[in-house]
Amino acid sequence: DAKTTQPPSMDCAEGRAANLPCNHSTISGNEYVYWYRQIHSQGPQYIIHGLKNNETNEMASLIITEDRKSSTLILPHATLRDTAVYYCIVRAPTPTGNMLTFGGGTRLMVKP
Amino acid sequence: EAGVTQFPSHSVIEKGQTVTLRCDPISGHDNLYWYRRVMGKEIKFLLHFVKESKQDESGMPNNRFLAERTGGTYSTLKVQPAELEDSGVYFCASSQRHTYEQYFGPGTRLTVT
């Protein structure tokens, strides 16, 4: 699996967009970028994933650079409930499974 | 639709005792994963079932850990005998065969004293 690099922590004002960067310069052509988050004391929660095109769902947007060496998760209007540790994971899904390798993640603190 | 459930939510046992954790995946999800986070460390993969078959158990720390998924429905993870370093939070996740998102349960916090 490609190694990812994320800032250990970030702050964001409530109501503003939170932009969480991830560097994955050694990503391979068949590897996807996944984002999960873990809110305190809960299990990790899937947010979004993509291969090379930008993706958007009801939770967030994922912007992947053209060379695929980095990506940004965007929470368009952060709320206090978005305070969590966000994990960027790069993985090539196998035909029968897709184990996740969690790193340290980015601890996002949304402040009022 | 019910999510992934885990039981118990918290278990406190003494060193040398046995504990069994249970995970009920989302109905219809063939893939079931176990992960754990020990104190101060990152979340680590333990093993992966496809239906009742162990697809990958490369993350199991040692032979004190035994996972089963009889009938391809719920799964159990037994720790016998428990050691102090087994303390942590054990997560279960499930996914459909052909999609890639994993849905995690709330975890079981295991404390070995």
pLDDT in tens, B7-16: 999 999 999 9
Distance CA B21, CA B33 (A): 13
How does pLDDT run across B18-41, given as a tens digit for each residue?
A: 999 999 999 989 999 999 999 889
The band of A94, judged by pLDDT with boundaries at 50, 70 and 90, is confident
Question: B59 vs A46: CB contact, 8 Å cut-off?
Answer: no
- For residue B8, is the peptide bond before it cis, meaning its omega torsion is within 30 degrees of 0? yes
pLDDT at B19: 98
How far apart are the C-alpha atoms of B42 and A28, rounded to whole Å?
A: 24
Q: Which residues of A touch B42 (CB under 8 A)?
A: 102-104
β-pairing verdict for A45-50 and B103-104: unpaired
Q: Which two tokens stand for residue A59?
A: 């939770």
pLDDT at residue A26 in the model: 93
pLDDT of residue A2: 65
How close does chain A come to B49, measured CA to CA in Å?
9
d(CA A33, CA A70): 9
* Measured distance CA(B70)–CA(B68) in Å, rounded: 6
User: Shortest Cα distance from B94 to chain A (angstroms)?
Assistant: 10
* CB proximity B36 to A under 8 Å: no
Q: Which residue of B has its CA nearest to A105?
A: B42
Q: In this complex, which of A43, A97, A104 lies closest to B106 when CB atoms are compared?
A: A43
